[in-house]
Amino acid sequence: MAYEISSKARKIVPYEPVTGRVKVRLDANESFLPMHPDIKRDVISQIRKVALHRYPDPKAEKCCKAFASHYGVDPALVTAGNGSDELIGLILGGFFAKGERILITEPDFSMYEFYANLAELEVVRFQKKGDFKIETAELIAFAQQEKVRGLIFSNPCNPTSQGIRKLPMRMIVSGLPDTLVILDEAYMDFWNQSMINEVAEYDNLILLRTMSKAMGSAGIRLGFAVSNKKLTKVLRGLKAPYNVSSLTQAAALGVFKHPEISKDAVLEIMAGRGFLSGALMKLEMEWKGSPFAFRMIPESRTNFVTICFEDEDKHKEIFEALKKKGILIRCFPAFLRITVGSSEENAKFLDELRALHR
């Protein structure tokens, strides 16, 4: 009898980001800023010290301490992962049993459902309304009604750019004491409503952070989970012993040595977001009533902006037209997501977008 692939594996649809060379890449929410020379110097210096014939530090202890120092948390509450994706997979695969119910909000980061399906969990969906905001009481009531064991979502949200403030976040975590809340704060460096300094107060909260966005280090693949000591002990037990490479750990130490540069980068990215948002708001007003009419989701809390077209097929048309011009943005079923680029990249995107309207 021939080997048969499991039904679970057969159902998996791979995540396929667009690859290849393009003129302007505004699709992946990476930082448009190249690594600062001072950081690059220290990254190279750290990498030169690596003993490549030895396994990496299994606890990534120096990295966790550097991260903890940067954000003002106890390093004993920090777990390092090979990107936040690995941590999401470990949490969903390890903290829940097959068939248990996990709640995701829609729209949100697609990989939550991917890893939930891989862990053979039952996915329950909370559909956001037209403004994409989450009403705290509704989410809590829905989670209680559906008897979910876990809740995972991003704050600020990818791909809508909206955020939930600390007070309603506290209400969500406190209001669901029997539910493990996995809070993905990948974009929180661009906002000031983090729960990271309150994690130890909760029995049911795991918070995720990444170096891929504000710190401009997507290429090293390093993420962190922060939780109380009990949850941290379990998570550290779930991960592989050498999950973060020596090269990644070394590079991260070079980045963390320059917190002031990282803060300046965030300010520059936010300034670019302000320019891009302002230009799109102007087009939103100018194009009202035309086939290109759209609305921009206000108050972005991230390094990207999101626009929704009144004509549901228009966003696909625009995505393909810009792609032909060498400008890559992200196309979702109901909207377009545009990562903040350099001033030149933002201008090029806006020029080509305006040209489509003519």
What's the pLDDT tens digit per position in 11-51?
777 776 766 678 999 999 999 999 999 999 999 999 999 99
- In 3-state terms, the chain is what percent helix, strand and coil (to 5)? 45, 15, 40
Instruction: Kindly give the pairing relationship between strand 327-328 and strand 24-25.
Output: parallel
3-state secondary structure of 208: strand
Domain residue extents for the chain: 16-34+260-357, 39-257
Q: How confident is the model at residue 310 (pLDDT cuts 50, 70, 90)?
A: confident
The domain covering 16-34+260-357 belongs, at the CATH homologous superfamily level, to: Aspartate Aminotransferase, domain 1 (3.90.1150.10)
Least confident stretch, 125-134, 137-146, 267-276: 125-134
Q: pLDDT grade, residue 272 (50/70/90)?
A: very high
List CB contacts of 112: < 8 A, sequence separation 6 or more.
Answer: 88, 92, 104, 152, 153
Q: How confident is the model at residue 10 (pLDDT cuts 50, 70, 90)?
A: confident
pLDDT at 13: 76
Higher pLDDT, 275 or 6: 275
The closest alpha carbon to 105, from 128, 72, 89, belongs to 128
Q: What is residue 158's predicted lDDT score, i.e. its pLDDT?
A: 97
pLDDT, one tens digit per residue, over 78-90 is 999 999 999 999 9
Q: How confident is the model at residue 6 (pLDDT cuts 50, 70, 90)?
A: confident
Give me the pLDDT at residue 264, please.
96
Query: What is the reported pLDDT for 305?
Result: 98
Q: Is there a common fold for 16-34+260-357 and 39-257?
A: no
pLDDT at position 14 is: 74
39-257 — its CATH code?
3.40.640.10
Amino acid 12: pLDDT: 78
Q: How far apart are CA 269 and CA 252, in angstroms?
A: 20
